[in-house]
Amino acid sequence: MIELKNKKIHNYINNNILEIETVIKDYTNYINTIIRNTYTFLPDEDIEEIILDVFLIVWKNQNKLDINKNMSSYLAGITHNLIKKKCRTCKLNENIENYEEQCIDLTNIEFNYLQNEKNKQILEKLEKLKKEDKEIFIMYYYNEKTIKEISKIFNMSEEKIKSKLFRGRKKLKKLFKGKEV
């Protein structure tokens, strides 16, 4: 059997119709792994929503698929785009909610204190990264710069930036679990 990572889209098409049930069965765990390895802070409900949205997008766009491409690459791209969209929405909603809470309910001091402590912990862990890696991480996740923009700023290839982000996430994950890197 062909390894899932190299399986072409045409393997999932029968009589010009995408066999979405087979795609779902084969790739749900793959998409779940991408999400959990990339963004560990998303709640389970958001992860399930993203997974369902990935398959919905594939189903709606089945006539536009390049049947000679790998299904895993196509799904990974959609997944990353949906995660970014979800994170931006969450960040925007969180900022609005925090602002409303601060304006309406000044008794929520404990919540604000915990948020500040959480932010301090994240910044403290970021300080343990190399300066360049920290700057790339902040540009991508906090300043919402694209990988292309960051690669131009640092005069590096996009693949190098992706690699630094991946390694940075792994280091932060270890640091938050209490393991030294």
Range of the domain at 169: 118-181
Instruction: Check whether 157 has a pLDDT greater than 60.
Output: yes
pLDDT of 97: 45
Q: What pTM was computed for the model?
A: 0.49
Please check whether residues 53 and 136 belong to one and the same domain.
no
pLDDT of 58: 87
Q: Label residue 148 by pLDDT band (50, 70, 90).
A: very high
Please check whether residues 92 and 125 belong to one and the same domain.
no
Residue-level length of the chain: 181
Please check whether residues 169 and 102 belong to one and the same domain.
no
Please check whether residues 81 and 145 belong to one and the same domain.
no
Measured between alpha carbons, how far is 136 from 68 in angstroms, rounded to an integer?
34
**Other CB atoms within 10 Å distance of the CB of residue 10:** 13
pLDDT of 159: 93
Alpha helices in 2-67 (DSSP H): 20-38, 44-60
Please check whether residues 123 and 179 belong to one and the same domain.
yes
Please check whether residues 134 and 91 belong to one and the same domain.
no
Domains held by the chain: number: 2
Token output for 43: 């709640």
Q: Is 3 inside any structural domain?
A: yes
Measured between alpha carbons, how far is 72 from 135 in angstroms, rounded to an integer?
30
CATH number at residue 149: 1.10.10.10
Which among 76, 106, 136 is the end of a domain? 106
Instruction: Check whether 92 has a pLDDT greater than 50.
Output: no
Q: What is the mean pLDDT of the chain?
A: 78
